């Protein structure tokens, strides 16, 4: 529970209405009731506000709603996230190493670490203070995990990998599985040992069933603040720059380098051994086959192989017309052939 003024102070906003209004939780605009706050970040939802029973609304500057308690801030969506965290995501209490967890004697755990039953923590592992391992987490030997990390049920961190502070692994994420490396040996393949590691820097989040492969030699690195959705595949020796986001089923092939603050839509893919620069946006199902230069401003590309997004939109407008265009071209070809025959005769 908090007053509207307390929430405004939390997000750096200002109040229009009653600053003493008590707020217990955040709710959707169409179902919010007394004591609840909702948010309006998209103008198309403004008509829903008239029928909402919310006690307060988070809005951007310039939004008017007579008789409403408003929390006005420059970024309503960010304010919503921070208020939701404050009101409805209280920090969990440390519970120590629970019965049924197997932790090697050589492992070193910081203060306020929680390890639930069914976890296996290998030899010489280091776990920072405030970190939680939920049931079924497996941590191989010589792993280092930073402070205030959360490893959800069934996630796996293989040998010698390094996790920074505040890293989150969603259920069944796999960090440090073998890279896909095989040397042709006649009709067969010889497995190349994958002896490198994975490094996840601070504030990285890895989605459920996402795999980040260990390097063949050296390291695969996911830089600070990057967020990977569910079912993302990161190949061996890849580097993903800071604050990059990838939606579900995106894939980066081995040894490619991704810049800072990039965005990859669902099923977007990058072939191996190329570079994608800073601030590049790859639309869903986009396929990157050559190096893309970045810049200070966002650059959006689409299609396979990728082209500038506006060009791709123009091309897609023509797809439905292609059958008729094909017929028209054939008709024009016949007319040209007839004219050429007539010219020869004359």
Residues assigned a catalytic role? 236
CB 155 within 8 A of CB 137: yes
230-245: string of b/e by CB count within 10 Å (b at 16+)? bbbbbbbbbbbbbbbb
Compute the chain's Rg from CA coordinates. 27
Question: Six-digit token pair at 43?
Answer: 């103008």
Per-residue DSSP letter, 192: P
Distance CA 186, CA 236 (A): 24
CB 139 within 8 A of CB 133: yes
CB atoms within 10 A of CB 31: 11
Distance CA 283, CA 33 (A): 38
Name all contacts of 183-187 with Cβ < 8 Å and 24+ positions apart: none
Element (H, E) at 296: none
Spell out the alpha helix ranges (H) of the chain: 4-11, 46-49, 76-88, 309-319, 322-345
């Amino acid at each position: 529970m908090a007053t509207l003024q307390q929430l405004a102070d939390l997000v750096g906003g200002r109040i229009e209405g009653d600053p003493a209004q008590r707020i217990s939780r955040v709710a959707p605009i169409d179902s919010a009731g007394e004591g609840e706050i909702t948010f309006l970040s998209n103008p198309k939802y403004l008509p829903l506000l008239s029928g909402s029973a919310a006690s307060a609304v988070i809005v951007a500057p310039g939004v008017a709603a007579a008789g409403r308690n408003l929390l006005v801030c420059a970024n309503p969506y960010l304010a919503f996230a921070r208020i939701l965290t404050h009101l409805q995501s209280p920090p969990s209490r440390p519970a120590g190493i629970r019965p049924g967890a197997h932790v090697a004697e050589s492992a070193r755990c910081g203060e306020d670490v929680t390890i639930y039953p069914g976890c296996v923590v290998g030899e010489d592992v280091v776990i920072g203070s405030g970190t939680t391992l939920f049931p079924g987490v497996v941590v191989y030997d010589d792993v280092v995990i930073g402070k205030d990390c959360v490893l959800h049920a069934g996630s796996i961190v293989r040998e010698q990998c390094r996790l920074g502070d505040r890293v989150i692994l969603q259920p069944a994420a796999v960090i440090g599985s073998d890279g896909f490396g095989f040397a042709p040996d006649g009709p067969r393949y010889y497995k190349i040992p994958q002896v490198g590691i994975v490094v996840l820097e601070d504030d990285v989040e890895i989605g459920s069933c996402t795999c980040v492969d260990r390097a063949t030699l050296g390291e695969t690195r996911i830089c600070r603040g990057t967020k990977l959705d569910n079912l993302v595949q990161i190949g061996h020796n890849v580097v993903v720059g800071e604050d990059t986001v990838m939606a579900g089923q995106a894939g980066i092939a081995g040894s490619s380098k991704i810049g800072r603050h990039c965005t990859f839509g669902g099923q977007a893919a990058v072939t191996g051994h190329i570079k994608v620069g800073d601030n590049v946006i790859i639309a869903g199902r986009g396929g990157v086959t050559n190096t893309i230069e970045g810049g200070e401003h966002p650059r959006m590309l689409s299609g396979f192989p990728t082209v500038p997004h506006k060009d791709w939109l123009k091309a897609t407008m023509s797809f439905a017309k292609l059958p008729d265009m094909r017929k028209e071209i054939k008709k024009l070809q016949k007319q040209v052939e007839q004219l050429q025959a007539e010219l020869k005769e004359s």
